[in-house]
């Protein structure tokens, strides 16, 4: 009998197996348990794409996450799920089944899959955890967990970084984070309070977290990898510090050796770092690149060429020289997501981003020179953002549009005030006024700062996308599902001129509202879809 089997709930990104699966397998095995990790998401996709259902995993398809659509198509999905479970879960007869939930959108699929598996494993304990178990949506989560427990779909739920909790759970120990939310003793607010991990040794689980009990990486031949946790920045809008209050990293040599090990054992050549920042520690980054170079892993070596992507912070010429940028590209850096957030230095400094426009432009120019793709991560409607600040952001779009290597400009929604972030934990300190900051919509809608209210943020959100179209940039891939903001705006303000712009943004792609260079747009769109794993 297996002690622990962990699998994930569809649908998820298809680029690579979820790193949570391998990490939990490694940590529990290290603590003496017999464990197995299984990527149901990718395995199910591999099976169903052969019969013409691969499009269910595309970004714009809601079949697997919408309750009505899932109910209507469950008769199609169930035989595939049953086959996957019968072949990869049931034969191992696990004492504990862990189901990794990435988003609350997976709750409907979770319930159906859990109840199906319960037919085969009536005596096993079913545990759920992952980012979908979130303080951000505490009321929704609690209602759903109660429902799942009542139907015997699950026994327990886990909140927080599961590699700190899972072995205790398997050993039958009670602790905070299992079936309860932790409370910040300073503020009494519900948030994640992390244990002291100052003495944590990342090499405790050497190279194992990239090993899976399935055949090969994802359909795009990617693997996720972690070099560090926490962040050297303390951005006001970010909740990472509530999970990892201090920056903790492996050595550059160790990270490079993990990549080499995965390449030699699995043939993996593409890696996506889960780190908050690739360049949080420049000495470690340089050591990683030099170690890869010493082992012959260079762009000029087709046999050993690796590619790796991750998050990036802008730094100036003194911190990262042009020669350092050459080394990065030579060692395989292929794409960076840069949290630019705003074209306004004033806004970025309030965020504690701490880089000026000179550093921004230098960083963009160096990546263009070395042919490293850039995803510009932007934020619209930050509390202190004024109309003048927003105009600087629109001007930045004009500059980004001229850069051949900018493959995507990403903005998911108007600014959200998140629990666990400095803004969310102490909004009064920052001068933010609000009605409540409890449920998902509250984080976007129910706060204001001076004249920066919800309607203003929606207007800027659409003006931003309209400007992207004007200058020849592809609409952010996340925008297609954001018509809810237009509906909210019509209820709140309904300015006819603004509604016209909103409708033009939504119609773009059907009736091209502005004549731009189609070849440039299509090329950038193709690059972006490959980078983001949206091709399936």
pLDDT at position 521 is 38
Buried b (16+ CB within 10 A) or exposed e, 193-227: bbeeeeeeebeebebbbbebbbeebbbbebbbbbb
The one-character DSSP state at 119 is H
pLDDT at position 216 is 53
More confident: 516 or 225 = 225
Residue 264 confidence class, pLDDT cut points 50, 70, 90: confident
- CA 286, 289, 290 angle in degrees (round to 5)? 85
- Is a pLDDT exceeding 90 seen at residue 212? no
Q: What is the pLDDT of residues 440-467, one digit of tens each?
A: 788 999 999 999 999 999 999 999 999 9
Q: Distance between CA atoms of 50 and 80, rounded to whole angstroms?
A: 12
Provide the whole-model pTM: 0.84
Residue 163 confidence class, pLDDT cut points 50, 70, 90: confident
Which H, E and C letters describe 387-402, residue by residue?
Answer: HHHHHHHHHHHHHHHC
Query: Which residues 6+ apart lie within 8 Å of 35 measured at CB?
Result: 2, 3, 4, 5, 6, 24, 25, 28, 29
- Is a pLDDT exceeding 60 seen at residue 479? no
Tokens of 153: 């779909």
The one-character DSSP state at 195 is P
For the chain, report the end-to-end CA distance as a whole number of angstroms. Answer: 36
Most confident of 13-17, 226-230, 467-471: 467-471
Cα distances (Å, whole numbers) of residue 285 to 332, 434, 436, 449: 12, 41, 42, 39
Burial of 412 from C-beta contacts in 10 A (0-12 / 13-18 / 19+): middle
Structural contact between residues 266 and 216, judged by C-beta atoms closer than 8 angstroms: yes
E strand residue ranges, 294-432: 307-312, 333-341, 373-378, 406-410
Query: Which of 307, 314, 296, 143 lies closest to 233, judged by CA?
Result: 314
- Is a pLDDT exceeding 90 seen at residue 431? yes
pLDDT at position 273 is 94
Structural contact between residues 269 and 240, judged by C-beta atoms closer than 8 angstroms: no
Tokens of 36: 């197995």
Query: Which residues 6+ apart lie within 8 Å of 221 measured at CB?
Result: 267, 268, 269, 270
Q: Cis omega before residue 11 (within 30°)?
A: yes
Structural contact between residues 333 and 303, judged by C-beta atoms closer than 8 angstroms: no
Query: Which of 62, 56, 36 lies closest to 44, judged by CA?
Result: 56
User: Where is average pLDDT lowest: 39-43, 103-107, 114-118, 370-374?
Assistant: 103-107
Structural contact between residues 486 and 463, judged by C-beta atoms closer than 8 angstroms: no
Buried b (16+ CB within 10 A) or exposed e, 103-123: ebebbbbbbbbbeebbeebee
Q: No. of H helices and E strands in the chain? A: 19, 15
Cα distances (Å, whole numbers) of residue 356 to 341, 385, 398, 480: 12, 16, 18, 32
Instruction: List 7's β-bridge partners, or say none.
Output: 38, 99
User: Where is average pLDDT lowest: 174-183, 198-207, 229-238?
Assistant: 198-207
Listed in sequence order, the DSSP H helices in 40-161 are: 40-49, 67-88, 107-120, 138-150
Query: Which of 185, 119, 124, 132 lies closest to 158, judged by CA?
Result: 132
pLDDT at position 182 is 67
Residue 262 confidence class, pLDDT cut points 50, 70, 90: confident
Structural contact between residues 117 and 17, judged by C-beta atoms closer than 8 angstroms: no
- CATH code for the part of the protein at 4-170: 3.40.50.280
Diameter of the chain measured on Cα atoms: 66
Q: Distance between CA atoms of 479 and 2, rounded to whole angstroms?
A: 44
Query: Which residues 6+ apart lie within 8 Å of 193 measured at CB?
Result: 176, 182, 183, 184, 185
Q: Distance between CA atoms of 335 and 329, rounded to whole angstroms?
A: 10
pLDDT at position 197 is 57
Q: Distance between CA atoms of 205 and 409, rounded to whole angstroms?
A: 36
User: Where is average pLDDT lowest: 38-52, 315-329, 381-395, 510-524?
Assistant: 510-524
- Is a pLDDT exceeding 80 seen at residue 512? no
Query: Which of 315, 324, 335 lies closest to 293, judged by CA?
Result: 324
Q: What is the pLDDT of residues 299-349, one digit of tens each?
A: 888 888 899 999 999 999 999 999 999 999 999 999 999 999 999 999 999
Cα dihedral 395, 396, 402, 408 sign: negative
Residue 168 confidence class, pLDDT cut points 50, 70, 90: confident
């Amino acid at each position: 009998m297996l002690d622990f089997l962990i699998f994930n709930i569809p649908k998820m990104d298809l680029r690579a197996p979820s790193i949570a699966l391998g990490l939990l397998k490694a940590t529990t095995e290290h603590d003496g348990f017999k464990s197995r990790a299984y990527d149901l998401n990718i395995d199910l996709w591999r099976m169903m794409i052969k019969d013409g259902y691969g499009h269910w995993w595309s970004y714009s398809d809601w079949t697997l996450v919408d309750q009505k659509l899932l109910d209507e198509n469950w008769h199609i999905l169930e035989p595939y799920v049953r086959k996957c479970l019968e072949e990869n879960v049931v034969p191992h007869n696990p004492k504990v089944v862990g189901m990794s939930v990435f988003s609350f959108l997976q709750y409907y699929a979770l319930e159906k899959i859990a109840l199906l598996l319960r037919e085969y494993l009536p005596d096993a304990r079913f545990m759920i955890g992952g980012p979908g178990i979130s303080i951000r949506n505490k009321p929704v989560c609690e209602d759903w967990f109660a429902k799942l427990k009542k139907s015997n779909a699950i026994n327990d739920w886990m909140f927080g970084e599961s590699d700190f909790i899972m072995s205790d759970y398997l050993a039958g120990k009670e602790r905070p984070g299992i079936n309860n939310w932790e409370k910040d003793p300073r503020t009494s607010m519900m948030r994640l309070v992390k244990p002291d991990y100052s003495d944590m040794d990342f090499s405790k689980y050497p190279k194992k977290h990239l090993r899976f009990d399935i055949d090969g990486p994802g359909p795009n031949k990617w693997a996720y990898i972690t070099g560090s946790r926490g962040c050297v920045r303390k951005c006001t809008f970010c909740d990472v510090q509530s999970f990892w209050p201090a920056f903790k990293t492996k050595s550059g040599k160790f990270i490079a050796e993990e990549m080499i090990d995965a390449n030699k054992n699995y043939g993996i050549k593409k890696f996506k770092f889960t780190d908050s920042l690739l360049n949080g520690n420049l000495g470690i980054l340089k050591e990683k690149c030099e170690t890869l170079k010493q082992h012959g892993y260079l762009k000029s070596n087709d046999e050993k060429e690796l590619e790796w992507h991750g998050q990036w912070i802008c730094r100036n010429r003194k911190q990262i020289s042009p020669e350092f940028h050459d080394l990065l590209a030579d060692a395989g850096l292929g794409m960076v997501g840069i949290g630019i957030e705003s074209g306004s230095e004033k806004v970025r400094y309030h965020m504690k981003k701490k880089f000026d426009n000179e550093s921004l432009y230098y960083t963009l120019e160096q990546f263009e020179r070395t042919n490293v793709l850039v995803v510009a991560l932007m934020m619209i409607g930050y509390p202190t953002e004024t109309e003048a600040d927003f105009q600087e952001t629109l001007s930045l779009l004009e500059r980004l549009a001229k850069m051949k290597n900018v493959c995507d400009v990403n903005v998911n929604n108007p600014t959200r005030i998140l629990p666990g972030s400095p803004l969310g934990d102490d909004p009064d300190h920052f001068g933010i006024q609000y009605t409540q900051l409890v449920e998902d919509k509250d984080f976007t809608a129910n706060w204001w700062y001076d004249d920066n209210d919800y309607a203003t943020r929606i207007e800027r959100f659409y003006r931003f996308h309209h400007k992207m179209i004007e200058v020849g940039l592809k609409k952010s891939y996340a925008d297609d599902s954001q018509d809810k903001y237009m509906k909210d705006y019509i209820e709140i303000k309904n300015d006819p001129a603004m509604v016209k712009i909103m409708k033009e943004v939504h119609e773009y792609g059907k009736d091209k509202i502005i004549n731009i260079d189609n070849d440039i747009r299509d090329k950038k769109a193709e690059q972006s879809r490959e980078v983001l794993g949206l091709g399936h």
